[in-house]
Structures are given as structure tokens and as C-alpha cells.
Amino acid sequence: MIIIIGNQKGGSGKSTLTLLLANYLTLAKKCKVTVIDMDYQQSIAQKFEKAKLLENEEPYEVIAAALEDYPDLLEVLTGNSQDIILIDLPGKLDDDGLIPVFQSADLVICPFAYDEFSFESTILFSVVLTKINPQVNIVYVPNRVKANVKYETQADVDAQLAKFGSLTQSLPDRIDFQRTNTMMTPLSVYPVILPVFKQIYEQYLKNN
């Protein structure tokens, strides 16, 4: 199964969400996962290389790759239908290299924030994605939501995004998310992320 984590807007929390999901699927659900890091910053791949220095057994493989590498990678990685491939996309839409990635996706997880710029970028991302892959399932994850901020546009944003896919509970803006690496997720984070990942797993992954 191919899951892409993407949005047009950089800084939406794609890479952290990819790490959290990879850890959840391997450690909690014992799934076989491969992560493809296509983000420009390559932060997941860097954390993976640092973790390897500790000589611990990695729970999953991380591959740093460019968009142009994807068609060849796909042939290699999709040999076992039980495997889950997580792809952290670059935050852009103006590259034809995204087309085969979008076409191959079984599920798209799209983190976003409740601000006007993030919402507009998320809608544009969704429109382009669904034109390329009309059958794909999209899950929107409200991310980095501040507890003391009232988001006046939240109901309208949720209604607009629900036309393209489903929404999960929101994830708060917390500093301990940044301590996540390719070996572990901080225990303090689990009560926050479990409702989101359980929903995704039960709806889209459990029976695949």
C-alpha cells in the first residue's frame, strides 16, 4: 500500500507526521514499512542516518530519493502488497515528477493549519491530486493547532475539505513532537496521536 503525506505548503508538519505514522505502524501494529523521503530538507533521512550510528536495529528503512527516481523505485518497492510505503513529499505542485507519485497513491494524508494561506494551498493540492488520481482516499489532519486560539474559519474549512475526503481529530502544537526520531516516539505524544492514527488504521489499513 502506498501512502503519501503531502501538501503544497511547506511547514505543514509533513515530515514529523510521516515519522510518527511510521513509528506507530511498525511499533504498535507490527507492519512492514518503508519510508521514502522526497522532502527537500531530507530531515527523516538525516535522522535515520544518525540513528544508524547508535548501532540499534532500525524498525524500518528510510530511502532518500528525488521525484525523478520514483518510477524505478516503485517497481522495486511494490513487490509485496502487504508492505506499506510512506512517502514524504516536497512542498510544491509545479513538478511533473509528482504525477506518477499521485497516480500510484492508495491513500493521501494531508496535514494543514487553520489559516487562510494553508487552507488555500490545501484546496489547490486537493484539486490537482484528485484530477490526477480521482479514486484516491484523502485524510486531512488539522495540525499544529494552538489550544488558546479560536479559529473562526474552522467550521467552513472543515466543510470545504470534507468535499474531498475525511478529517481526523486535530493535533496540537507541541514541542515534544520534535523529539520523535526513526527509533521512537516520546511516550508523552502517544495519547495525542493515537486517536488520529487509530482512525486512519481502522478505516484504510486494517483490512489491506
- Domains observed in the chain: 2-199 (3.40.50.300)
- The upper half-sphere exposure of residue 207, i.e. CA atoms within 13 Å in the direction of its Cβ, equals 3
Phi and psi at 88, nearest 5°, equal: -90, 105
> What pLDDT digit, counting tens, does each position of 130-181 carry?
999 999 999 999 998 887 767 777 888 999 999 999 999 999 988 899 899 9
Identify residue 147 by its one-letter amino acid code: A
Distance CA 63, CA 128 (A): 26
**Dmax over Cα atoms in the chain, in whole Å?**
49
**Contact criterion met (CB below 8 Å) for 197 and 21:** yes
Identify residue 192 by its one-letter amino acid code: V
Can you read off the three cell numbers belonging to residue 5? 503525506
Name the pLDDT band for 80 (thresholds 50, 70, 90). Answer: low
> What pLDDT digit, counting tens, does each position of 2-50 carry?
999 999 877 778 999 999 999 999 999 999 999 999 998 899 999 998 8
